[in-house]
């Protein structure tokens, strides 16, 4: 399908989906915010048909899976995370047939679909909550957490400190307080009620039957409440997630679950479960993300190294999920107070740039639109343990609008070309757009069409890097090991794949190097078991530089430019063996 304003792309292969239960290990995910991605019917709101029309672009880029945030009917007081109907499609986005067509078209291109499942709460407009308010003794009366006063669960922290003063809100209709860990218009479901558990399983089954490939489980640490605790990560919560996983594995094998648990790795690792009772297939690694940004300003890899050393091992069935930015604020919950203050000073000097306990800015403006830093950040993301997730628009270095409310600053329409509304919508009235277009200097005119026409653009760079990653699956499933380096500015690690796991006679070893400093660095990297090995360049800031060999003492000496990177494939030196 030809998209007006976007150059016709070369024919894309349509390999379909391979029946691989471990597909997620080497996958690159792409978050497409539906309402802001592409509008097909000129009403100003992105929709399923619009997203479907851009699948060839995402296939060209090299995306393996699309994560779509909530598209269910919603009052839209929290970007759709306030769900009013779990098994419907908001008419603004199309129909159920449009959704099914998207899944089919994506699968034809070898792209999988992951959708959000918000288990912790519903909208106050959900029929379940309306029934619970008006008929306490009815079938939905116990679907939510009610109390006669607001003294319960006093040890639970308030998450949205900008807007909420309590986790309890009084309901005039029922004459009781209801519990909510997030906004007061999002009452929490009561998972002590077996009927709630059964209802949620039916919701997940409904969407699994459409052929989706996975579910991102939103805000799961807060599912269960218990007095005398902080109501986070409780055993009952883990039993619920394990039960959901057991149902999916039995009825829809190969369907993954991704935990959104903004916690320290020592707590998050529990959401993988155990070999006997697996829980989530993947878990987002929140703490590593702010350390990447800290390291770029400190000019040293220490922060990244420290958080990776503190990350515990995970079960063999699990995988971390990593990201630089997404539709939420850049959360600073998992940093120290001193680290948070430095991050605010570096990246959010204006109050309007902050939200909750974080920063509501996009990637390119955060990094001062520095091409070197944008490249390095993505190279780090793609080489660290886990499956990476890109955020729509970051591939063309889109801007932000900090004057929009809450997190809408980073949710503006995708910029496709220089036609009206930047190709996002043929809507005649710009005021009808889901959000205003970016009008900031240097960012307003950026678009996919221009980036496609420029072989040196960030978009083409990312496409090349994604292709390199796909050609080296060791980056997704190989063992990870930090390496000792003579200069703390350099992060050095190896990714090594066992030959048996690779299905080949020989596995692969990649040495990944990144210079976080804004100065050139010469460093020695300790690789004792690779002594005498040769290397070849897989990816580099200076691709034509001669790759260094590992000397007989097991040391690799390398010179990296400012914000430079180098991926080296290492193998025994066959000439020396002869």
- Where residue 513 sits, what CATH number does that domain have? 2.60.40.1180
Which of 229, 260, 284 is a domain's end point?
Answer: 284
**Does residue 307 form part of some domain?**
no
Alpha helix (H) residue ranges in 384-508:
448-453, 458-471, 474-477, 499-502
Q: Checking phi first, is residue 553 left (phi over 0); if not, alpha (psi -120 to 50) or beta?
A: alpha
Domain extent for 528: 478-572
Coil vs helix vs strand at 206 = helix
Question: What average pLDDT does the segment 315-332 reach?
Answer: 95
Instruction: Please state at what angle helix 235-251 crosses helix 194-208, rounded to 10 degrees.
Output: 40
Residue 435 domain flag: no
Residue 30: Cβ within 10 Å count = 24
Q: Which of 39, 64, 78, 260 is catalytic?
A: 260
Note whether residue 561 is domain-resident. Answer: yes
Task: Using the 3D structure, point to which of 257, 284, 311 is the last residue of a domain.
Answer: 284
Average pLDDT, the chain: 95
Domain tally, the chain: 2
CATH number assigned to the domain comprising residue 42: 3.20.20.80
| Model confidence at 578: pLDDT above 70 | no
Selected residue with higher pLDDT from 578 and 314: 314
In the prediction, which pLDDT does 218 show?
Answer: 95
User: Which of 214, 249, 37 lies closest to 115 in space, CA to CA?
Assistant: 214
Asked whether residue 289 is assigned to any structural domain, the reply reads: no
Is residue 270 domain-resident? yes
Do 184 and 83 form a contact (C-beta atoms < 8 A)? no
Task: Tell me which of 251, 284, 317 is where a domain ends.
Answer: 284
Contact indicator for 399, 365 with CB cutoff of 8 Å: yes
Parallel, antiparallel or unpaired: strands 521-526 and 65-68: unpaired
User: How much is the pTM?
Assistant: 0.95
Q: Under DSSP, is residue 31 helix (H, G, I), strand (E, B) or coil? A: strand
Which residue is catalytic, options 218, 279, 373, 394? 218
Q: What is the pLDDT of residue 162?
A: 82
Residue 271 domain-assigned? Answer: yes
The answer to the question of residue 437 being in a domain is no
Strand 282-284 and strand 319-323: pairing? parallel
Helix, strand, coil content of the chain in percent (nearest 5):
30, 20, 50
pLDDT in tens, 66-99: 999 999 999 999 989 999 999 999 999 999 999 9
460 burial type by CB count under 10 A (0-12 exposed, 13-18 middle, 19+ buried): middle
What pLDDT digit, counting tens, does each position of 455-498 carry? 999 999 999 999 999 999 999 999 999 999 999 999 999 999 97
pLDDT given for residue 575 in this prediction: 57
Please compute the mean of the pLDDT values over residues 505-529 and round it to a whole number: 93
**Is 6 part of any domain?**
yes
> Cβ contacts of residue 534 below 8 Å, gap of 6+?
547, 549, 550, 570, 571, 572, 573, 574
Residue 260: active-site member? yes
Rounded Cα distance between 163 and 161, Å, is 6
Active site residue 218: yes
Say if residues 415 and 438 touch (Cβ distance below 8 Å): yes
Cβ atoms within 10 Å of 222's Cβ, excluding its own: 24
pLDDT digits (tens, 9 = 90+) for 247-263: 999 999 999 999 999 88
């Amino acid at each position: 399908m030809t998209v007006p304003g976007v150059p016709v792309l070369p024919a894309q292969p349509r390999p379909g989906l391979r029946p691989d239960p471990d597909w997620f290990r080497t996958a690159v995910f792409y978050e497409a915010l539906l309402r802001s991605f592409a509008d097909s019917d000129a009403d100003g709101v992105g929709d399923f048909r619009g997203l479907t029309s851009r699948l060839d672009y995402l296939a060209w880029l090299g995306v393996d899976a699309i994560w779509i945030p909530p598209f269910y009917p919603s009052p839209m007081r929290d970007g759709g995370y306030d769900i009013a109907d779990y098994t419907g499609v908001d008419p603004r986005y199309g129909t159920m047939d449009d959704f099914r067509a998207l899944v089919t078209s994506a699968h034809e291109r070898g792209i999988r679909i992951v959708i959000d499942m918000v288990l912790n709460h519903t909208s106050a407009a959900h029929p379940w909550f309306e029934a619970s308010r008006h008929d306490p003794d009815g079938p939905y009366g116990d679907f939510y957490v009610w109390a006669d006063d607001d003294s319960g669960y006093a040890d639970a922290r308030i998450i949205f400190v900008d807007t909420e003063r309590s986790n309890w809100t009084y309901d005039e209709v029922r004459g009781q307080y209801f519990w909510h860990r997030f906004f007061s218009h999002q009452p929490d479901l009561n998972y002590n009620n077996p009927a709630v558990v059964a209802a949620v399983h039916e919701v997940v089954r409904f969407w699994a039957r459409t052929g989706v490939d996975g579910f991102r489980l939103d805000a799961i640490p807060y599912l269960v409440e218990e007095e005398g605790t902080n109501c986070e990560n409780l055993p009952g919560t883990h039993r619920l997630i394990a039960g959901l996983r057991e149902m999916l594995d039995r009825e829809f094998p190969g369907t993954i679950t991704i935990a959104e648990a903004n916690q320290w790795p020592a707590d998050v690792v529990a959401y993988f479960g155990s070999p006997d009772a697996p829980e989530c297939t993947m878990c987002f690694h929140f703490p590593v993300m702010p350390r990447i940004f800290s390291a770029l300003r400190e000019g040293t890899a220490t922060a990244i190294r420290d958080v990776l050393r503190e990350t515990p091992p995970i079960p063999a069935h699990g995988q971390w999920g990593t990201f630089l930015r997404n539709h939420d604020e850049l959360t600073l919950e998992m940093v120290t107070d001193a680290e948070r203050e430095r991050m605010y000073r570096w990246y959010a000097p204006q109050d309007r740039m902050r939200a909750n306990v974080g920063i509501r800015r996009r990637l390119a403006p955060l990094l001062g639109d520095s091409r070197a830093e944008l490249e390095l950040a993505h190279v780090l993301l793609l080489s660290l343990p886990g499956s990476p997730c890109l955020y729509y628009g970051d591939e063309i270095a889109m801007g932000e609008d900090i004057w929009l409310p809450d997190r809408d600053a980073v949710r503006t329409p995708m910029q496709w070309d220089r036609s009206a509304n930047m190709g996002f919508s043929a809507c005649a009235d710009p005021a009808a757009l889901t959000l205003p277009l970016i009008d900031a200097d240097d960012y307003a005119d950026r678009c996919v069409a221009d980036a496609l026409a420029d072989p040196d653009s960030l978009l083409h760079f990312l496409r090349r890097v994604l292709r390199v990653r796909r050609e080296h699956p060791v980056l997704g499933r190989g063992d990870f090991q930090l390496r000792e380096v003579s200069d703390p500015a350099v992060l050095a690690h190896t990714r090594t794949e066992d030959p048996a796991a690779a299905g080949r006679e020989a596995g692969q070893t990649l040495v990944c190097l990144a210079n976080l400093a804004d100065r050139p660095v010469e460093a020695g990297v300790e690789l004792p078991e690779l002594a005498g090995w040769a290397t070849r360049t897989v990816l580099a800031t200076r691709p034509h530089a001669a790759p260094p060999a590992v000397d007989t003492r097991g040391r690799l000496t390398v010179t990296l430019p400012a914000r430079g990177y180098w991926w080296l494939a290492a193998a025994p030196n066959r000439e020396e063996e002869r």
